[in-house]
Amino acid sequence: MIDIDSYLAVIEARHQAAGRQIYAALDGRSGAGKTSTATRMAGALRARGLTVTVLEVETFVAGWDGLEAGTHRVAHTILAPLSHGESPLVASWNWVENHWNEPAPIPLTDVLVLAGCGATSFACAPYMDVTAWLEAPESVRRARVAKRDGDPSAWWERWARQETQLLAERDSPALADFLWTTA
């Protein structure tokens, strides 16, 4: 079960104490519920008067074989500049046409919610102020992905191997501030 209110309270408290942008991560394997949780969180934070940017790690991953490189890209081209008060220009990946889009600015806001596989990876974790790991059984996750994106058979196993590699580098579930089961 997701205790979103406790997570939001931590974000608010850390923002008030730090007086700077707060980085909140929602990590988990494909289909765990990160995107829908990020959407709910952003709405709740905005209702509390905070400005919020939601970014998905996969938006900055160059295709089905680039997850680890994508987490490093997010850390170095987005999180590092933002942590220094700079609004970076970053290209996102066009998953339909398999190329980089034109760079767009990432704004400085009160809260940055980074959702996606690898949001608490070795590369991204040092920037995070509060983290949550979302998990669900593989059958549930796969059914969610199939409903959202169609049959994942062509990429499921190779993406899962990359998720496993990230977890071998950093045990994100064990190190998360919050651990949520979404099914």
pLDDT in tens, 100-151: 999 999 999 999 999 999 999 999 999 999 999 999 999 999 999 999 999 9
pLDDT > 90 fraction of the chain, expressed in percent and rounded: 97
**132 near 73, Cβ under 8 Å?**
no
- Round to whole Å and give the CA distance between 57 and 92: 10
Look up residue 6 and give its DSSP letter: H
Nearest partner of 137 among 168, 91, 181, judged by Cα? 181
- Round to whole Å and give the CA distance between 44 and 50: 9
Chain-wide mean pLDDT for the chain?
96
Question: Which two three-digit tokens encode residue 87?
Answer: 């609004």
pLDDT > 70 fraction of the chain, expressed in percent and rounded: 99
Residue 15 has pLDDT above 90, yes or no: yes
Average pLDDT over residues 21-44: 97
- Round to whole Å and give the CA distance between 121 and 24: 13
Average pLDDT over residues 56-66: 97
Average pLDDT over residues 34-50: 96
Question: Which two three-digit tokens encode residue 27?
Answer: 């990590």
Residue 1 has pLDDT above 80, yes or no: no
Residue 177, CB half-sphere, CA atoms under 13 Å: how many? 19
Question: What's the confidence (pLDDT) of residue 2?
Answer: 75
What DSSP element (H or E) covers 55? Answer: strand 52-56
